[in-house]
């Protein structure tokens, strides 16, 4: 073939199918004005594949991305929104960590209340370790309305509205002390699943660690979601007590497996460390057994038992006891090799793929087989807590020889699965039908999770895949000992072989999981309407202030300032109080132009608001220090932005 004999940049153009070498003609067009492709390639050291990748990812001014990735921010505690294929980060959404640019919990009472919803043992926790985001689903497809995320460190769950990309709710239960299998949704978002990671006495009490087997427990919580309200409904939620194995990732059944949920575990050994006390470290103690247990939960059965009152209440949560779950057909175990991590249900819901991180296979469990065994009550035994165990070989459809350290699996629209292989540092593409690997692509370095376009739905799109790599090492300019992670964008549309398109550093946070949704499914609003809306309650604030209504009123509980913001002034702009006064600011943006956001800060106080068009914010504080405190708009809003300022005058009382 011609393209094998011609030189480097020329081959690319030959392959373009439209152009041949100038040698055939001889007229050399001058390089003036336009760009010189070959020179550009040479100057920037680009290969033909690079040029293809550049053109597949470059997104010109004003063109929008086809997909949006919602990636967890790990222990940054915020959610990251990324456009695909441009791989530009469009937004960090404050969730578990206060964030001043968004005015998230920096004085704004509505968002302070959201954060306080996640208080633990009566105290505010001001960060989270965000692991697994889950988009809301309708009939197993992302519907673009909400996203849920878990906080591993503090066992919390948050609800983010995709109407305004704001965190609307954080919930927690002291039933458990950490989570990991969160968040995962059932196919119509009936429930959001949160499973514990590190066992502890249920409800937050103390017990010596020597009572690990007897008193320490795990739990799977099924948080009921009220879609109309956009809130998780604690009263209609329930938990299932689990043995003190370390439950890991979870997934929800769909279609053929609807009504079921799956979670795996590590540490069926029930090790708990003690390395200074003569015991093995957990990493060693938890890696002794060849098999751990895939947990299969029939949550519709659990629902029935909850309704029938078979629960006990711990830390305010209805809990289905382990013996009930084991005896009544809610909970089954199937052996799974070895120290598994990801459990991922196939798009048709028929199979459940598990990656054993110390194994070399992915294991494909069959829901049909599992159901048949459970219905026939055909068990090979019970675990120490009475949970029935199914036979491994009779529960699986087969295994795929995949490489060392398989973690997570996602799917395309053509019958392929894609598994991250951590230790080998590749992504393996394999056929779900044949259970054979068809291609591997190296990752730099050490890929953790994967996300694929609409990849967790009943109808994945193929097209794009992202390797969420844990280390970056030499991929980017050095930015100190703490490096970014690296998202590698992969083209699934180029044939059998996966093609690397782009390396994208994550500049803040450490993503664990992400979901990728068609961008046009998201229907975000432009402005808040009517003017004076509280974005958390979704109601017009009782303190909403329109133009000409601005006033300062001294009441029994302090000084109330009813203020408006519009380009480029606050009314009022002078606030006179006495030292010790409680000051209540009620600020309404009367803007209705898209993108005309104002900020509001008071110097030397911890107050900064983001007041998007139409939004209302309330702030209360004690003016405890006499002095002159400028306040001003912190979001550049017009040519006279610097003049959008005023003074809080705090007169001393003595």
Residues 145-164 that bind its own copies (CB under 8 A): 153-155, 163-164
Return the residues of window 408-427 that contact its own copies according to CB under 8 A: 422-423
Sorted by sequence, the CB contacts under 8 Å of residue 308 that are 6+ apart come out as: none
From 45, 214, 228, 654, residue interacting with its own copies (rule: CB under 8 A): 45
Which one, of 353, 347, 334, lies nearest residue 398 by Cα?
A: 353
Interface with its own copies, residue 8, by CB under 8 A: no
Q: Is the Cα torsion angle 113, 115, 119, 125 positive or negative in sign?
A: negative
Cβ nearer to its own copies, comparing 137 with 248:
248
Q: Pattern 344-373, binding to its own copies, x per CB under 8 A? A: -------------xx---------------
Interface with its own copies, residue 1, by CB under 8 A: yes
Interface with its own copies, residue 278, by CB under 8 A: no
Interface with its own copies, residue 11, by CB under 8 A: yes
Cβ nearer to its own copies, comparing 346 with 610:
610
Return the residues of window 58-87 that contact its own copies according to CB under 8 A: 58-65, 68, 73-78, 80-81, 83, 87
Interface with its own copies, residue 315, by CB under 8 A: no
Least distance (Å) between residue 376 CB and its own copies: 35
Cβ nearer to its own copies, comparing 216 with 222:
216
Distance between CA atoms of residues 612 and 596, nearest Å: 7
Q: Pattern 371-400, binding to its own copies, x per CB under 8 A? A: ------------------------------
Taking residue 376's Cβ as centre, other Cβ atoms within 10 Å add up to: 8
Return the residues of window 437-456 that contact its own copies according to CB under 8 A: 444, 448
Q: Kindly tell me the burial class for residue 68, based on how many C-beta atoms sit within 10 Å of its own C-beta (0-12, 13-18, 19 or more).
A: buried
Interface with its own copies, residue 270, by CB under 8 A: no
Which one, of 516, 413, 517, 421, lies nearest residue 469 by Cα?
A: 421
Interface with its own copies, residue 52, by CB under 8 A: yes
Cβ nearer to its own copies, comparing 102 with 298:
102
From 72, 95, 102, 173, residue interacting with its own copies (rule: CB under 8 A): 102
Instruction: Tell me the two tokens of residue 533.
Output: 């809306």
Return the residues of window 472-531 that contact its own copies according to CB under 8 A: 472-484, 488, 500, 503-505, 507-510, 512, 519, 522, 524-528
From 209, 546, 547, 622, residue interacting with its own copies (rule: CB under 8 A): 209
Distance between CA atoms of residues 55 and 35, nearest Å: 15
CA-CA-CA-CA dihedral for 178, 182, 186, 192, to nearest 10:
60
Which one, of 457, 467, 461, 455, lies nearest residue 420 by Cα?
A: 467
Residue 585 parent element (H or E): strand 582-589
Return the residues of window 237-256 that contact its own copies according to CB under 8 A: 246, 248
Least distance (Å) between residue 243 CB and its own copies: 16
Q: Pattern 624-643, binding to its own copies, x per CB under 8 A? A: -xxxxxx-x-xxxx-xx-xx
Cβ nearer to its own copies, comparing 298 with 589:
589
Least distance (Å) between residue 148 CB and its own copies: 17
R_g of the chain, CA atoms, integer Å:
28
DSSP string, 500-554: EEEEEEE-SS----EEEEEGGG----SS-SSTTEETTTTEE-TT---TT--EEEE
Cβ nearer to its own copies, comparing 385 with 629:
629
Instruction: Tell me the two tokens of residue 222.
Output: 């099924």
Q: What is the 3-state secondary structure (H, E, C) of 98-164?
A: CECCCCECCCCHHHHHHHHCCCECCECCCCCCECCCEEEEECCEEEEEEEEEEECCCCEEEEEECCC
Return the residues of window 565-604 that contact its own copies according to CB under 8 A: 568-569, 571-574, 594-595, 597, 599, 601, 603-604
Which one, of 599, 553, 583, lies nearest residue 648 by Cα?
A: 583
Least distance (Å) between residue 388 CB and its own copies: 26
Interface with its own copies, residue 292, by CB under 8 A: no
Cβ nearer to its own copies, comparing 186 with 515:
515
Interface with its own copies, residue 42, by CB under 8 A: no
Taking residue 112's Cβ as centre, other Cβ atoms within 10 Å add up to: 18
Return the residues of window 185-204 that contact its own copies according to CB under 8 A: 197-198, 200-201, 204
Interface with its own copies, residue 31, by CB under 8 A: yes
Residue 8, sorted as left (phi over 0), alpha (psi -120 to 50) or beta, turns out to be alpha
Binding residues with its own copies: total (CB under 8 A): 210
Distance between CA atoms of residues 268 and 285, nearest Å: 10
Sorted by sequence, the CB contacts under 8 Å of residue 346 that are 6+ apart come out as: 352, 353, 411, 417, 432
Distance between CA atoms of residues 155 and 171, nearest Å: 9
Instruction: Tell me the two tokens of residue 363.
Output: 């294991």
Least distance (Å) between residue 217 CB and its own copies: 11
Least distance (Å) between residue 381 CB and its own copies: 26
């Amino acid at each position: 073939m011609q393209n094998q004999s011609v030189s480097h940049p020329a081959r690319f153009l030959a392959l373009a199918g439209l152009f041949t070498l100038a040698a055939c003609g001889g007229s050399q067009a001058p390089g003036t004005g336009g760009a010189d492709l070959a020179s550009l390639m040479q100057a920037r050291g680009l290969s033909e594949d690079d040029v293809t990748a550049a053109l597949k990812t470059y997104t010109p001014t004003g063109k929008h991305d086809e997909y949006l990735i919602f990636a967890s921010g790990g222990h940054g505690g915020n959610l990251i929104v990324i456009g695909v294929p441009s791989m530009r980060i469009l937004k960090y959404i404050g969730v578990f960590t206060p964030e001043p640019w968004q005015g998230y919990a920096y004085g704004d009472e509505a968002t302070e209340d959201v954060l306080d919803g996640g208080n633990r043992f009566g105290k505010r926790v001001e960060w989270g370790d965000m692991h697994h985001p889950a988009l809301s689903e309708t009939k197993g497809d992302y519907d673009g309305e909400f996203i849920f995320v878990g906080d591993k460190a503090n066992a919390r769950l948050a609800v983010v509205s995709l109407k305004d990309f704001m965190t609307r709710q954080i919930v927690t239960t002291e039933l458990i002390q950490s989570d990991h299998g969160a968040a995962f949704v059932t196919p119509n978002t009936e429930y959001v699943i949160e499973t514990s990671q590190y066992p502890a006495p249920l409800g937050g009490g103390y017990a010596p660690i020597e009572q690990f087997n007897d008193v320490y427990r795990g739990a799977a919580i099924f948080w009921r979601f009220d879609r109309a309200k956009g809130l998780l409904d604690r009263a209609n939620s329930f938990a299932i007590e689990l043995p003190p194995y370390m439950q890991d990732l979870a997934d929800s059944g769909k279609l053929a497996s609807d009504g079921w949920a799956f979670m795996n575990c590590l540490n069926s050994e029930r090790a708990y460390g003690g390395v200074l006390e003569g015991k093995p470290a957990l990493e060693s103690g938890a890696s002794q057994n060849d098999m751990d247990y895939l947990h299969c939960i029939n949550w519709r059965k659990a629902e029935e038992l909850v309704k029938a009152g078979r629960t006990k209440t711990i830390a305010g949560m209805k809990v289905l006891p382990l013996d009930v779950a084991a005896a009544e057909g809610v909970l089954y175990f199937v052996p799974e090799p070895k120290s598994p991590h990801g459990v991922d249900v196939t798009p048709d819901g028929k199979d459940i793929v598990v990656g054993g991180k110390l194994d070399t296979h992915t294991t494909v469990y069959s829901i049909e087989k599992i159901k048949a065994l459970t219905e026939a009550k055909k068990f090979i035994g019970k675990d120490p807590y009475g949970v029935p165990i199914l036979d491994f070989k009779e529960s699986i459809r087969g295994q795929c020889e995949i490489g060392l350290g398989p973690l997570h699996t996602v799917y395309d629209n053509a019958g392929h699965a894609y598994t991250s292989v951590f230790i080998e540092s590749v992504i393996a593409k394999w056929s779900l039908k044949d259970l054979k690997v068809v291609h591997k692509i190296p990752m730099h370095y050490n890929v953790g999770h994967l996300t694929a376009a609409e990849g967790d739905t009943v109808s994945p799109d193929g097209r794009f895949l992202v390797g969420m790599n844990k280390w970056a090492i030499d991929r980017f300019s050095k930015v100190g000992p703490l490096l970014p992670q690296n998202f590698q964008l992969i083209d699934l549309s180029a044939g059998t072989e996966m093609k690397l398109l782009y390396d994208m550093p994550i500049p803040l946070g450490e993503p664990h999981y992400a979901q990728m949704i068609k961008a046009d499914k998201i229907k975000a609003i432009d402005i808040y309407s009517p003017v004076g809306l509280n974005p958390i309650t979704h109601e017009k604030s009782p303190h909403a202030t329109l133009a000409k209504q601005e006033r300062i009123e001294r009441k029994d509980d302090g000084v109330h300032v009813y203020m408006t913001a519009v380009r480029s002034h606050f009314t009022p702009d002078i606030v006179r109080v006495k030292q010790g006064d409680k000051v209540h600011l009620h600020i309404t943006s009367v803007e209705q132009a898209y993108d005309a956001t104002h900020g509001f800060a008071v110097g030397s106080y911890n107050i900064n608001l983001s007041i998007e068009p139409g939004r209302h914010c309330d702030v209360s504080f004690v003016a405890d220090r006499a002095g002159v405190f400028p306040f001003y708009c912190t979001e550049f809003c017009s040519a006279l932005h610097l003049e959008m300022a005023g003074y809080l005058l705090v007169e001393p009382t003595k």
